[in-house]
Amino acid sequence: MNSRGWLWAIAALLLLFAGLMGAFLKTGRNIGALLTAEESTVHAAQAKKRIVLIGQEQGNPYWESILQGAEREANSRGIQLRYMAPARINPEEQIRLLDYAISTAPHAILVQGLNRPEQGRLIEKAADQGIAVLAVDADEPGSRRLAYVGTDNLAAGRALGELIAKAIGATSGKSAGPAVQAGSAEPPAINQPTSNPSKPDATAEVGVLVANAFSYSQQLRLEGLKQALARYPGLRITEVRESGNSVLKAAQQGRELLRSGGNVRVLAGLSALDGPGLAISAEEETRKQVLVYAFDLLAETELALEQCRITATMVQEPEKMGREAVRLAAQYGKAEDRRELAFTPVRVRTSAEAREGRGCP
């Protein structure tokens, strides 16, 4: 081959090499673009699955259980969960935290219903921005929240009232409507009227504690309790006091209720820390036997059941509330407009069950 032929061959090889390099560089750019797009999609999906849980109070055992359930469900789904709560019970601070949470544009916010106009307006604001809001523990009726996850508090209060009436032996005078146990489709045995015409009607005054008067969930429990006891002429609520979410204050309020005169034979606490406090005050009472009823199952409550200082407690499932709230929140899209009621069950745990059938001394 002459020199001109060699030159043409080399030129052809150079052109071929240049073409291959161009194709290689173009493929690399396409792959890079695809990876960047995929990474952006992943980041966007992760950002959409960021959920904020606003609790009632830091360190509260009941809300710690809700948080644990929410964290377990969030971790299993690869969701980022942030928890915020006031240092002490403070509805105004909860509302401020909700406003702040909205500004961070999460996929969803889980918040305790306060039944306040300010919170309703903020839920409206969140909904307008495509943020799913779910009420946990207490509902926010009439708002644009997508679901309520928690106890049917009105039904739980009714069930507690029927439990008290049965223990006292009161006879029913009138019906206040069906008193079903929360989470149950049919009235449980504890809700059946205990009427015995041949026996004189038993009477008792009931002293009631709530952690705070502005708690919507406890307002509903109190209303349900009143509805149930209204069926029994021999039973009446003598006074409702606040415990401030403190065992010590609950004990002090219990002492005052028992020493206020009258026929207070029953003490009922509608929040988790009320029961252990009332058990202390009832144990100090030597003039008469006092029946104590509680909500939730803290370690102190279980011990008081075993020692016969609490007669029975209404056991909620806060851990399940947290799990179910995150599960539902993860499923909601921006365009959805649901009004779900996801009631979690409530069961009764008695002193006899805690003592494995052994009677109290």
The string of pLDDT tens digits covering residues 167-199 is: 999 887 755 444 443 333 333 333 333 333 334
Paired sense of beta strands 291-295 and 264-269, if any: parallel
Give 26-45 pLDDT, tens digit per residue.
555 554 554 454 444 444 44
Give 152-170 pLDDT, tens digit per residue.
999 999 999 999 999 999 8
Give 314-359 pLDDT, tens digit per residue.
999 999 999 999 999 998 865 455 678 999 999 999 999 999 878 7
Helix spans in the chain (H): 3-48, 61-77, 91-103, 117-128, 153-168, 216-229, 247-259, 274-284, 299-306, 318-331, 351-354
Q: Residue 260 is which amino acid?
A: S
Q: How far apart are CA 280 and CA 163, in angstroms?
A: 21
pLDDT the model gives residue 335 = 45
Q: Is the pLDDT of residue 11 over 70?
A: no
CA atoms within 13 A on the CB side of 240: 16
